[in-house]
Amino acid sequence: MLRQLRVAPYDVVFLTWVKLKAGIAVKLQPHDRSFVCLANPRAVLESQLRHYSAVTCNSTISLSIKGLRYEFDVRGCVGNGDASLAQYSPRHCDGISVQDSDVALELA
């Protein structure tokens, strides 16, 4: 988390609580094409994404699979009540909650 926030230990961080919409769909782009060579990469990604409580657009998430670290850019996300992923615009949803949600995944 410190790496994602770009802070060092003992840095002061001010936080604001925000209620995110329940996630419906998320579009991820792997940094390394070797991820798609895994057996059933979509199922692997769905099971690993459950370790996250939320994702935000234009961020990078990191997943550890079979001892290897894979990085993914979040290219788009759709929350409950938003337009479809094809009509995604950053105005629609900056972040979604993926915890306790059935989120459809799309790989870019």
> Given a cut of 90, is residue 73 above it in pLDDT?
yes
CA atoms within 13 A on the CB side of 39: 1
Could you report the per-residue pLDDT of 18-72, keeping only the tens digit for each?
A: 888 888 889 999 998 888 888 888 888 888 888 889 998 888 998 888 888 999 9
Whole-prediction pTM: 0.74
pLDDT (0 to 100) of residue 75: 92
Whether the Cβ atoms of residue 22 and residue 81 lie closer than 8 Å to each other: no
pLDDT band at 84 (very low <50, low <70, confident <90, very high): low
